[in-house]
Amino acid sequence: MSNLTFKQRIEHECIVESAIAPTLYKAAVSFIEDSGRWEPNEELGYTVSRFWETQRPHSFRELACFRQELGELWQAKPENPQVNRQKSAQRLSQALGRPVEKSEVSGLLRLHPEHTVLRKYETPLGAGSTPYLPPVTAGVWQHVATRYGVECPAEVSLAALVGLGGEDTVVSGFWDWVTANPEIDILFTEGGKKVLAALSQGYAAIGFYGFRAYQAHDPILKTKIAPRLMPEVQRFIQPGRHAYIAFDQDEKPETRHDVEQGRAVFAGLLTTAGCDVRLVLWDGSLGKGIDDFIAAQGAEAFEQLIDQAKPSAQHERTRQRAWARQKRENERQAWLGQVATLVGLPEDADRMAIAKVFRDRARLSGTVEVGHFPRLTLPAEGDRQLIVLDGSKMTRKTSVGLRSIVEEGHLRRWCGVLFSPTRVLAANLAYELDILTIDQYLALPPDNRPAVVWVTACPESAHKLRSISANVVAFDEANECIPRVESGELGNHPELARQAVKELLGSADVVVLAQDGIYRPTIAATQRWGNFDPTQVVVLRRHRPKTEMEIALYLDQAGVGEAWDGTARESNPKANNAFYTWFAGIENAVSHGQTVIIPSGSEGKARTIHRVLRGLHPDLKGQPIDGKYTPHRVRTEFAKNPTTFAPKHDLAWLPTSPVFNSGVSIEGTYFDQQFEYARAFETASSISQRGERNRDAIRGEKIKRRNVYIASRGLATMPHPAVFTPDYWRSLLAGDPNTDAINLAQQMGCMEIASRLGQASADDWLELPEFLAIQAQETYFKVEFLRMEWESNGWAVTEIVHDPQAAETWSQTFYEATQNLIAQKGRTLARAKGKKQAGDEPAGAIEATKHHKWELQQKLGDYPGLNNPEWIESWVIDSGTTGLFELRVRSLVCIAHEQPSLWAELARQHALNAIARAGQHDTADLPCTAREFAIAQLLKDAPGLYSVIKEQLTDWTNKDVVVAQAAAWARENAISLASASSSHQRIHGLQFTSKTPLIRCFHKLLQMVGLDGVCNRKITTGDDTRGLQYRLVKAVDIEAKLAGKLADNGDRVHSLQRQHKRIETDSEVFDALDQVLKQRVGDLTPAWDAIAAQVLEKYGLSRTSVEIRSLTEVLDTPDLQASIQDISALVHLAQESGAEALHQLRQTIKPLYPNLWRLALGTAA
């Protein structure tokens, strides 16, 4: 080839390598040679001055020109190509590791010629994006006509017969003929040689300079525009015409992605114009372009390729899904790299390596003995000891370790308290150790109470233990108990319970912590509160002997928008084949007469599974055990003797819920199979604890395989990496909810209370950020944590391949069971009579339902919907993202804007509640929960939110200033918004980040007050750019979705129907909530005034009761003026109490109200 002339090389390239017919090649390709007068340059549109040149023009030497039908130049291939400065600069940048400007390219290429990139083709200056419509010969014209069965014009046939060249004759008008005959398919491709190769095979082919076969820039204004078809292409577009797109099959992933994107846009434009668009796709190894393919594979193979072309819409959906999967995978890898860096590992570390670092940091290290715990010995009189029992299940922490402590304590005539996570588990522990529960002890007449007593209790009952001087305090499942004490999630009196636990630990001679895999912060918190020095801490670690067991793991690969049972709420069912394959195992076991235990992390899931099995096997018995709906009698019977419960009742299946994650042990071999359900928001520790309550699932005497399904639906895929660090959670907790209470206590002169509140902020939750970080780690890396534990037991872990038909088999059954449960709950709650429960926990399902109804009545008064099952289903049972909680927050936001004095009174009541608790006073009811108030306190300042609520802002775009302001506000307050979220939402991490789109930030804020935004239409904004307009979802939107579902014979419309009900009744429900809330604020004011007076009398500047009216001024902004009489009264009391009291009062009030302070001083004088 090197000895061929340029013309000969081009001819070989076109005719041999690109399979172009020789006659068509001669018709479409011509040559221009540089004779010294720069003819090629002029042909390309360059202005060449032949005199006084300051810079010599580039010499192309000779051009091979691809001509249009009328002879004008479309594209040329030069013998001596120019340097492609842009691509050369990119290569140089990669090689040199720095940006390279175009002006540097020439000099750098002299030093690094290996990075030179040449321009293969030249286009005429100013030609724009013109398609290639070459001249054709009479023979080619006839070939196209024959292929599509279209009559050839007479003059063409005549030219072919009698013309000077016969079929080689070039005949004009071909493209007008194609335009006039829409039955002729058009093949769109890129590059001149591909066009000529396809024409040679009888296909009407049109070519482009590249894969962007559309206009995206205005050629006159030189600005970006929405993509549109080129005018020269538009002439060929008629409804029904078949259009084929055959772009190059590039090897480079980035180039391939760009080509696919361009092809998708072009196909969309053609489809919109009415064409039937199909994509010609092939393996790139068979040839990059269609000319290469034809030359290598032959005309027949190309014809088959055209026949197999895929509809563009179908392919685009497939491509978009594949691209989205790859994008998500890339994002996941990048996220995992960030987490790895966070823990000090290389960026390419895998999930297991990261989880191992998390585990090692959270738990104790060192040697672990294999075997059981021995009997424990109490320290000598006068000595103190913190004993840590860190042992896996079945190492006899309770039956030997704790029992020996109780027995020796009795001999010494010591008293002791043993804590379990819940009341039911405390009762079980008392039964196992043959001691009393706290309730049994308190039920005894004071004169008949034993002097030496050992009792069990849950942490929230700790304040009831003040009459017992405990020598020993023990925590069974310490990782559950201690974090709950620090977090304040303890029944009705969390502050009293926490204080009681701290006092018990501080005075006890012996404290015992029992746990499988105890956390370091659990020991640290106990050591700190109990004031134990390191020499007083004794750690005993045990691991049970290895056993044989297989773990069959069913992992849910959740899709977007899917519900917990694998159905999409507003679209077609999404396959959750993992869950349904897992359930099919349960059904198979029960059908073959086997007994099955089903530990479940979800009460709702446990009941749904029970209902499905009951429907399939009405002749068999099962009994779900949970903490809410199971009758108290049944739950107590199970807790006291779980081993005999199932055999006694002849149960075929037994679903248990998280209330029994720990504390109970089922011995024996009654069950043949174990199937475990783990929900997305559970930690690995919870799953492990619950799964091993049935001890045969460890021993493997009868159960040889555990079937574990782990859900992931609803859990954020990639939370902010900061959620795995204590610092993140510390920042959430640092926004101290006691700030307002501290300010109020100071301004009331209750310095002791203010001091207590301030100390609580630092002392009570010191280790809590570490606990929360560990929970996040165990939630997002639960599979890895569990694998490490199972493999350390010597168990084989196998991931099960899902049955692709499982969802189709079972999803409808589960859907119907779920809807039946919702309807049943709705009917039951509608019929119930409201009644407040007496204790911290309901006695059973009936009491729980009555209490729930009472809570609804406190919010809605006598609203008639409370007795309507359909309304209950929509607003209470299956409320989605818009429930009564969100409407209450909306009401509070409106109160803050419209009634500042009422808002200030609300703030006072919440602050007084904290003050009274800190002072161990009785408190009154609150008009709203602390979380509702905290969220509203934030959202009242969110830009645009109140305007949407009041319908002052009815539509908005993603480019509106108010949307950008709202997003900026949300990002600035992201930590505070996260800290006010419910616990299962906090673990998602920051919801408002720089990566969260502006419009999504705004809509997330709307959802927090029970409003949903929806895209209304596309619009053109004032600057001539396209945008999206949004508004609130309306009933008609849901009606349209319902109509579409019903038209498709869809029967899963219940959630849509309930959403429609909520939208229809939104205004009246809001009005009812709003009215009751405002009324309750006023009704409760006298009670809180009385509490304020009691606190002042006990802790204030004077021990004399002082009447302070609503004290709204201490929390209001300065423009809400305080009462000068109140401040004068406080000044008068301070003057009587001395200079120090007056100084404290001045420091508190003067910065807030300088004018009133001056006036009050004058009045007091």
Name the domain boundary from 82, 102, 122. 82
- DSSP 8-state code for residue 118: B
Gap between the Cα atoms of 719 and 780, Å rounded: 9
Task: Inform me whether the pLDDT recorded for 562 exceeds 50.
Answer: no
Does residue 220 lie in a domain region?
yes
Residue 1165 has pLDDT above 80, yes or no: no
**Same-domain check for residues 478 and 626:** no
Q: pTM for the complete prediction?
A: 0.76
**Is 368's pLDDT higher than 60?**
yes
Domain boundary among 33, 58, 82: 82
| 609-623 pLDDT, tens digit each | 999 999 999 999 999
β-pairing, 204-208 vs 215-217, is: unpaired
Q: Is 60 exceeded by the pLDDT of residue 983?
A: no
Q: Tell me how far apart the alpha carbons of residues 620 and 618 are, in angstroms, rounded to a whole number.
A: 6
* CB-CB contact of 915 with 745 (8 Å): yes
Q: What contacts 24+ positions apart, CB below 8 Å, involve 859-862?
A: 859/884, 859/888, 859/1073, 859/1076, 859/1077, 860/884, 860/1069, 860/1072, 860/1073, 860/1076, 861/1072, 861/1075, 861/1076, 861/1079
- Which CATH number does the domain housing residue 695 bear? 3.40.50.300
Q: Is the pLDDT of residue 753 over 70?
A: no
Domain final residue, candidates 18, 48, 82? 82
Q: Are residues 412 and 480 in the same domain?
A: yes
Rounded CA separation 638/646 (Å): 9
Residues 487 and 554 in one domain: no
| Residue whose token pair is 């063409």 | 156
Residues 275, 186: one domain? yes
pLDDT at site 1119 = 35
Q: Does residue 1011 fall inside a structural domain?
A: no
Residue type for position 294: I
Asked whether residue 101 is assigned to any structural domain, the reply reads no
pLDDT band at 969, cuts 50/70/90? Answer: very high
pLDDT at 985 over 70: no
What is the domain-level CATH number for residue 254? Answer: 3.40.1360.10
Lowest mean pLDDT among 135-144, 426-435, 854-863, 1134-1143: 1134-1143
Give pLDDT tens digits for 172-224: 999 999 999 999 999 999 999 999 999 999 999 999 998 888 887 776 666 77
1056 occurs within a structural domain: no
pLDDT score of 1132 = 63
Q: What mean pLDDT do residues 67-84 have? A: 93
Domain of residue 1142 covers 1121-1164
Q: Output the pLDDT for position 569.
A: 33
Same-domain pairing of 574 and 515: no
Residue 1114 pLDDT > 50, yes or no? no
Convert the pLDDT of each residue in 657-677 to its tens digit: 887 767 688 999 999 999 999
The percent of residues above 90 in pLDDT, for the chain, comes to 57
Mode of pairing for the β-strands spanning 62-67 and 29-33: antiparallel
Asked whether residue 527 falls in the same domain as residue 413, the answer is yes
**Residue 1148 Rama label (left phi>0; alpha psi -120 to 50; beta):** alpha
922 vs 480, residue with greater confidence: 480
Q: CB within 8 A of 690, min separation 6: which ones?
A: 599, 601, 656, 658, 660, 661, 662, 676
Strands 186-190 and 653-656 turn out to be unpaired
Tally of CB atoms within 10 A around 32: 18
204-208 and 186-190 strand pairing = parallel
Residues 554 and 517 occupy one common structural domain: no
Inter-residue contact 675 to 707 (CB < 8 Å):
yes
Average pLDDT over residues 551-565: 63
**Same domain flag for 380 and 441:** yes
Domain-embedded: residue 760:
no
399 and 528 inside one domain? yes
**What is residue 1021's predicted lDDT score, i.e. its pLDDT?**
66
Q: Which residue has the higher pLDDT, 1134 or 651?
A: 651
Pair of tokens at residue 1002 = 């705004």
Q: What is the DSSP string of 478-518?
A: HHHHHHHHHHT-STT-HHHHHHHHHHHHHH-SEEEEEETT-
Residue 847 lies in a domain: no
Domain assignment present for 262: yes
Contact yes or no for 230/131 (Cβ under 8 A): yes
Instruction: Give the chain's domain count.
Output: 6
Rounded CA separation 419/433 (Å):
13
Q: 1078-1087: per-residue pLDDT in tens?
A: 999 999 999 9
| pLDDT, position 1118 | 35
Q: How confident is the model at residue 1126 (pLDDT cuts 50, 70, 90)?
A: low
Which residues are CB-contacts of 742 (< 8 A; sequence separation ≥ 6)? 736, 754, 757, 758
565 in the same domain as 518: no
Tell me whether residue 730 is in a domain: no
Mean per-residue pLDDT of the chain:
86
Strand order in the sheet with 186-190: 204-208, 186-190, 242-246, 276-279, 310-311
Task: Please tell me whether residues 384 and 528 are part of one structural domain.
Answer: yes
Is 116:83 a contact under the CB 8 Å cutoff?
Answer: yes
Provide mean pLDDT across the span 534-549: 94
- The reply to whether 294 and 402 lie within a common domain is no
Model confidence over 682-714: pLDDT tens digits?
999 999 999 999 999 999 999 999 999 999 887
